[in-house]
């Protein structure tokens, strides 16, 4: 899922994805200092399945986040 759009010049600091294993929506923090394209592995806090999290940040600061099974 995509992060909520920027509101009144305030950058969103989190976004969500759907766990590839259990289907739960998981909220993750967005760290803009890491770069516009990010990839890391995180265990789902609901089912403990490892997901590869992909983050892309547009020029306007909006984040696109999705996950795939590791």
User: What separation in angstroms does the CA of 4 have from each of 18, 47, 48, 61?
Assistant: 15, 25, 26, 10
Running along the chain, 70 residues long, what does each successive block of 10 average in pLDDT? 46 86 95 92 97 93 91
- Maximum alpha-carbon separation in the chain: 37
**What is d(CA 33, CA 23) in angstroms, rounded to the nearest whole number?**
29
Instruction: Specify the pLDDT at position 20.
Output: 87
Instruction: Specify the pLDDT at position 8.
Output: 43
Domain ranges of the chain: 14-69
Instruction: Specify the pLDDT at position 5.
Output: 45
Instruction: Specify the pLDDT at position 11.
Output: 59
Instruction: Specify the pLDDT at position 49.
Output: 97
**pTM of the predicted model, to two decimals?**
0.77
**What is d(CA 58, CA 6) in angstroms, rounded to the nearest whole number?**
11
**What is d(CA 15, CA 51) in angstroms, rounded to the nearest whole number?**
15
**What is d(CA 12, CA 18) in angstroms, rounded to the nearest whole number?**
18
Instruction: Specify the pLDDT at position 13.
Output: 87
């Amino acid at each position: 899922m995509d992060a909520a759009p920027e509101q009144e010049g305030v950058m969103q600091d989190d976004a969500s994805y759907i766990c590839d294993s259990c289907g739960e929506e998981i909220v993750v923090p967005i760290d803009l200092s890491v770069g516009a394209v990010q990839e890391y592995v995180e265990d789902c806090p609901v089912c403990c399945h490892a997901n590869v999290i992909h983050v892309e940040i547009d020029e306007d600061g909006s984040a696109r986040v999705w996950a795939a099974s590791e």
